[in-house]
Amino acid sequence: MSPATPRYIEIARALQKRIESGELLPGDQLPTEHELAGEWNVSPNTAKQAMKELRRSGRVETLPHRGSFVSKESTPFVITLNDVDLDEDLPGRPGGGEGRAFVDEAERQGLRATSSLPRVSIAQATDAQKSALRLRGEPRPQIVRRTQQRFIDGKPNSLQHSYFALELALTAQALLAENEIAEGSVAYLRKHGHVQVGYEDGFDARPPTAEEMEFFGLPRDSLAVIEHSRTAFDQNGEPFRLTVTVYKPGANRIRFFAGDVPDGARNPAS
């Protein structure tokens, strides 16, 4: 005799059937956990488990302070992070990681990329930031952080934080202003003696922070976010900028190219 199906699985399957039949359409709001508990005569915890099971399937998303909704199918935004040209501010560059390249990449895919104005703050460097920028002196030197929220077709896509030594920002003072840098940070810092000649990339998968959960609309049991760190080096071999981009899970696909790749393969739509 097989064991009985747990009640939360029964509830999840019933809701899943309503989604698959078209009774519940993408964007429709699902009953609250309190309503499910009453409808199925189960405890609130069982109703909560049922919603968690649905989120795991990817068919339902829970937005903080709003409720749970049938997920809308969307094609991930394709981000190309490597290219022979190191200038992110050069128009038409195919890399989508930073600056104008993020906007150009979206346009090639028929999408619209927008960003919030930067939020600028001054804080003590963490060990990781101090190491990446090779900051010397006091145990916790100060750094400048410029943070932007980034959107694709109006939906939260990624958070980008750029870090600079305070000493550099006091010279290149546009880094301290909560405005876009018109020519882009790479071109701007070139005027201040830092020509970007290379960069080092690193990746990490980790649980989202409270800030990221709020911005992306993630549930507490969300998939891990992908964190991409890029340290830029100047003509003297010195790191002068650390950019950390956090990508919403399920909304992005990151790719690289190496060697002689046909042009058709470089088109995200191909």
Which pLDDT tens digit goes with each residue over 193-210? 999 999 999 999 999 998
Task: Calculate the alpha carbon distances from 216 to 155, 210, 223, 225, 260 in Å.
Answer: 9, 10, 12, 10, 36
Q: How confident is the model at residue 84 (pLDDT cuts 50, 70, 90)?
A: very low
pLDDT of residue 164: 97
- Domain extent listing, the chain: 7-70, 78-266
* 203, 225 Cβ separation under 8 angstroms: no
Q: Check: CATH 3.40.1410.10 for 78-266?
A: yes
Q: What is the CATH topology of the domain spanning 7-70?
A: Arc Repressor Mutant, subunit A (1.10.10)
The residues with which 144 forms a beta bridge, in sequence order, are 122, 164
Give the pTM.
0.74
What's the confidence (pLDDT) of residue 94? 45
221 falls in which pLDDT band (50, 70, 90)? low
Region 104-111: mean pLDDT is: 89
pLDDT-based confidence at residue 87 (cuts at 50, 70, 90): low
Mean pLDDT of 12-16: 90
* Cβ atoms of residues 244 and 228 within 8 Å: yes
Residue that wins the pLDDT comparison between 261 and 70:
70
Q: Is residue 42's pLDDT more than 50?
A: yes
Please indicate whether the domains covering 7-70 and 78-266 agree at the CATH topology level.
no
